[in-house]
Amino acid sequence: MIRSNFSFFQVSIFAVFFTVFLNSCSARVQVLPEPVVEQTLFRSGPICPGAIFCSIGKPGSLNFKGILVNKTGEKPIFLEYYMSSFEESFPIGISMKLDQTWHNLRKTSTDYGDTVRVVSILPTDVADKLLSAKEIQLSFSSRDNTSTFTLSSSNTDSLKSLLKDLKEKLDSQARLTITNH
C-alpha cells in the first residue's frame, strides 16, 4: 500500500517538472537586447580641384562621409577637406558658396597627421542646394588666412555625383536589428 502511494507521489513530481520544462521551451521568437553595431560609415571617392592625380587624404582633396547612427536612425553627411600639415596654421573651418549664397559649415573635428583633415557637417538643406547649384566655391579659413577656390564645371559635376551616390547608398541602408530564434 505504501509502495503505490510512493509511486503516485513520484509520478506527480515528474508531471510538475515536465510541465514546467515544456512551458519554458516555447516555440515563440524571442527578441533579446544584444549589442549592435553603433554606426555604419560610408565614404565617397575624392575630388582634387586643380590636381592631375587624386586620392583620399591627398592635400587639397575633398570627399563626403555619411554615417548611419544605428541607435537613432540618423544619417548625417560630412565634408572632409585635407591639407598639408605644413600648409596652414590652426584650421578654423570651411565655407561653401552655392550659386550666390555662402554657407558656413560647422567644423566637427580636426585630425592631425601627415595631412590635416578638417571635417565639417553638411546640413541636409545645404546638401540639397549643392545638388542643384550651378556654381560652387569653397573657402578654407585658418588663423592666418583664407583660401577660396572656384570648382571647374567638371569638378562641380563630380562633386554633385559623389554626393548623390553617397546619399543613395546611405538612404538605402536600413538600421540593423538582431533577433534570436
Radius of gyration of the chain (CA): 29
Q: What is the pLDDT of residue 137?
A: 93
Q: Global pTM?
A: 0.74
Grid cell 541602408 in the structure block, residue: 173
The domain defined by 39-179 carries CATH number 2.40.10: no
10-residue mean pLDDT profile of the chain (181 residues): values are: 60 67 49 59 88 84 89 91 73 89 91 87 95 92 83 92 92 73 57
Cα dihedral 61→154→64→139 (10° resolution): 60
